[in-house]
Amino acid sequence: MMNEVLVVGSILLSSLLAFVSFVAYRRSRMRATLYLSFAFLLWACKKFVELGHTALWIRRDVGNIVDALELLILLLILAALWKR
């Protein structure tokens, strides 16, 4: 039960951070903030997939999906740092 609460909190926080970084992108037009916005959005998607698997909404193995999302998140953070 506590695990699900933490995952939902992580989804909400990463969604909020995605929104804030997208607003920052619209104001400054810095691509780094856009990359970070997508990274936070992917983090929320990753946590949602993990929550669905834990709550048995998704019955398949999601290991490959989660690993691919983590790789994309890291690449987006690297791109944000590179553009900065």
Cβ–Cβ < 8 Å for 38, 76: yes
**Number of structural domains, the chain?**
1
Collect all residues with Cβ–Cβ distance below 8 Å to 55 and sequence separation of at least 6.
4
Q: Which pLDDT tens digit goes with each residue over 14-33?
A: 999 999 999 999 999 999 99
Reported confidence tier of residue 53, pLDDT bands at 50, 70, 90 = confident
Q: What is the pTM of this model?
A: 0.88
**Domain around 6:** 2-83
